[in-house]
Amino acid sequence: MIIEKILLFFQEASFTIFSFLNLPDLPASISDLLSDFLDLVFVNISALGFFVRIQTLVILVPLAVIIINIDKIYDLVMWVLKKIPLIGIE
Amino acid sequence: MKCCKKKFLHFVFVFLLAICMTNLKSTCKAYTIDDVKFFIDYLYSQNVTNANYSSFHNRLGSLRNDWERMLQKAREQNIDLSQYTCWRAASTGRSTSCHLFGFKTSPEYHCTGYWYETTNTNSTYPGILWTTDLNSWDTGNYRFSDDFCALNENEPTNGNYYNAIMQNKVEFPPNFKFTFFDERITATAPNGATAYCVFLNDLTDIQGIGYIENYEEHPDTQITIFMQNYRDPNDVKVQALQPTDYELINGELWVKTITMWTPMVYEIVGIDGDDNFIAYYYIAAGSNTSGDPNFYGTPPGYDDNQFFLWKLLGNFGDDSGDKGGGLFGGLYDLFIPDKDFFLTYFNNFHTWASSHLGLLYTPFEFLFNLLDRIINADYTDPMVEIGPYTLPLFDDFTIVPKITYHFNDLLQDENMSNIHDIYLLIVDGILIIGFLRMCYNKYEEIIGGKK
């Protein structure tokens, strides 16, 4: 509930502050070109499944992201816990 | 300053990655057959605990594979799935399971199911389509489970099922609607009223809340929820759903008709967290002018073909988790947002940024597009497709014809298949060792002060 409120506050605030922004989109020709480029590069991405077990990647990659950022996660958790007087963490 | 910049960039990266993951997870993959879009994302999402019961598919997404095989079988038997008016799916979720897909139709009151025996490799796998007459529905005798599920004493043999479909070609009206939502099932009545039902399930209880969106305009609409669940492994049907105000039908099927805007809560009793537990959920909405809670017919003036829109949400395991009670539960509720919160949050951000930031947001959309392709690629059929490359200025002269190579063709040879399995095992080992090494380095960095 607390985190929800905080995040929603920042979201609403940023939407309000930057609401005047209305920048034009990238020209369709360029975005199509980028899409074609991705098609060219990733059309055969399914072949990856032959060389690596995808289930392994699905498990390991999120774990790796968590481990790499474990200190940030720890800081965030401690920051939240320190806000609770009941626990008494200094 | 440099340190702050680095931290800021790191935060931005993690933030964007979170957006990517959340946004991509919400992508509902459309599966088009005969110009009809099927949204089957839920069938193979991570929340579906269906990966371990099929001896034929040792990977996630078994239901999707089965679904595709069913479509293939339907094509072989000249059944146009786009003409189905409703669809139902069920998975027993056990290791020696049968598997069901069902179709409820009107006005013929035929259903078509898909069934196969995974424990018998000599069966007519990938499936047998069968039909049966459901006219008995109108009599108020609930034969729903008997007719749709193969897990009962009247289970026909494979051959009987097969003969049934061969002798009874099913023709359905040309109205088909089928949509899966992550955790919401919807039914639309012909008068336009739309009913929603949301279920929360954590293997120890189920809560369902149903309502109709535009009830004021359609006060004659009722929503009917059918719940039924089995517990295996002994093929024993166990009554487990205990509605707060219920009606027991035939000793195995709970039916609850509710007045709109009245929330209903169901609780499971007798479920011990067994992985083999499964619950079936059905929802149908229609204009019930007769007031009969067992109403299945079509009200006067409404098109039969549009009346039923059935949805199923089943076997989504312990997705909601056990947050416990007491102080921990209170803290959990206080700090941990709902699981859908981040999805909605980042989707809102994505929508807003796309409309306001224009080309500044393009690199991120490019990144999302990139990850979307990587994550949603079909890795079950690894293939390489090259060409065709043509020269437009020379009458589209083809310099490289289209070449498609399926890697799985290599695995048809048993020796190659064994070698490939060993190779994957080695790759898995390397990845896991690398991961453990990374964990150790992180441990050293945190505990040992290593930079």
Give one DSSP letter per residue of B393-422, joined into a string. Answer: GGTTEEEE--EEEEGGGGGGSHHHHHHHHH
CB B91 within 8 Å of CB B277: no
User: What is the average pLDDT across B305-328?
Assistant: 32
* Calculated CA dihedral for residues B274, B275, B276, B279, nearest 10 degrees: 90
d(CA A69, CA B10): 9
Those residues whose C-beta lies under 8 Å from the C-beta of residue B107, and which sit 6 or more positions away, are B173, B298, B304, B305
Tell me, what's the pLDDT at A11?
Answer: 83
pLDDT interval class at B241 (50, 70, 90): very low
Nearest Cβ partner for A23 among B359, B366, B407: B359
**Helix or strand (DSSP H, E) at B66:** helix B62-76
Structure tokens at B297: 């017919």
pLDDT, mean of residues B433-450: 85
Instruction: Judge whether B424 is closer than 8 Å to chain A, CB to CB.
Output: yes
Q: Which residue has the higher pLDDT, B178 or B361?
A: B361
CA B137, chain centre distance (Å): 27
Mean pLDDT of all residues in chain B? 47
Q: How many CA atoms lie within 13 A of B281 on its CB side?
A: 25
B351 to each of B10, B172, B184, B347, B356, how far by Cα in Å? 23, 39, 22, 6, 9
Tell me if B97 sits within 8 A of B118, measured CB to CB.
yes
Residue B2 has what pLDDT? 53
A31 burial level (CB within 10 Å; 0-12, 13-18, 19+)? middle
Give the contacts of B370 (CB within 8 A, at least 6 positions apart): A38, A42
pLDDT at B73 over 60: no
Q: Which helix (H) or strand (E) holds B363?
A: helix B362-376
Q: What is the 3-state secondary structure (H, E, C) of B145-187?
A: HHHHCCCCCCCCCHHHHHHHHHHCCCCCCCCCCCCCCCCEEEE
Q: Once rounded to an integer, what is the mean pLDDT over residues B35-46?
A: 33
**Amino acid B436: pLDDT:** 93
How confident is the model at residue B72, as a pLDDT? 53
- List the single residue in B with minimal CA-CA distance to A1: B334
pLDDT digits (tens, 9 = 90+) for A1-28: 677 788 888 888 888 888 887 888 888 8
Measured between alpha carbons, how far apart are the two ends of chain A, in Å? 23
Q: How far apart are CA B181 and CA B189, in angstroms?
A: 18
Nearest CB partner across the interface for B349, out of A11, A23, A70: A11
Q: What is the pLDDT of residue B329?
A: 57
Q: How confident is residue B212, by pLDDT bands cut at 50, 70 and 90?
A: very low
A83: distance to nearest CA of chain B, Å?
Answer: 11
pLDDT band at B3 (very low <50, low <70, confident <90, very high): low
d(CA A48, CA A54): 8
Q: Cα–Cα distance between A72 and B15 in angstroms, integer?
A: 12
What is the percentage of chain B residues whose pLDDT exceeds 70?
24
User: ipTM of the assembly?
Assistant: 0.76
pLDDT band of B92, cuts 50, 70, 90: very low
A positions 49-88 inside 8 Å of B (CB): 49-58, 60, 62-65, 67-72, 80, 84
Q: Rounded to whole angstroms, how far apart are CA atoms A1 and B160? A: 56
Q: Which of B245, B324, B317 is nearest to B276 (CA)?
A: B317
Q: Which residues contact B290 (CB under 8 A, 6 or more apart)?
A: B297
The reply to whether B383 touches chain A by the CB within 8 Å rule is yes
Residue keyed to tokens 């506050």: A9
Instruction: Using CB atoms, pick whichever of A47, A56, A70 lies closest to residue B383.
Output: A47
pTM, to two decimals: 0.38
**Interatomic CA distance for residues B215 and B220, integer angstroms:** 8
Looking up tokens 């109108």, which residue turns up?
B138
- Tokens describing residue B240: 């487990």
CA pair distance A22, B357, nearest whole angstrom: 6
Percent of chain B whose predicted confidence (pLDDT) is above 90: 4
pLDDT of residue B340: 66
Please give the pLDDT value at position B449.
67
- DSSP letter assigned to residue B64: H
Average pLDDT over residues B169-192: 34
Tell me the CA distances in angstroms from B175 to B84, B85, B103, B107, B366, one per residue in order: 6, 5, 13, 12, 37
Question: For chain B, first and last CA: distance in Å?
Answer: 19
Q: What tens digit of pLDDT does each residue of B136-161 get?
A: 222 222 222 222 222 222 333 333 22
CB contacts, 8 Å: B432 with chain A: 56, 60
Q: What is the mean pLDDT of residues A56-61?
A: 88
What's the pLDDT at B359? Answer: 82
- Kindly report the backbone phi and psi dihedral angles of residue B351, in degrees, each rounded to the nearest multiple of 5, phi listed first: -65, -45
Asked if B283 and B187 count as a contact pair (C-beta separation under 8 A), the reply is yes
Q: Under an 8 A CB cutoff, do A38 and B348 touch?
A: no
Q: What average pLDDT does the segment B366-371 reach?
A: 81
Cis before B300? omega within 30: no
Q: Is A29 within 8 Å of chain B by CB?
A: no
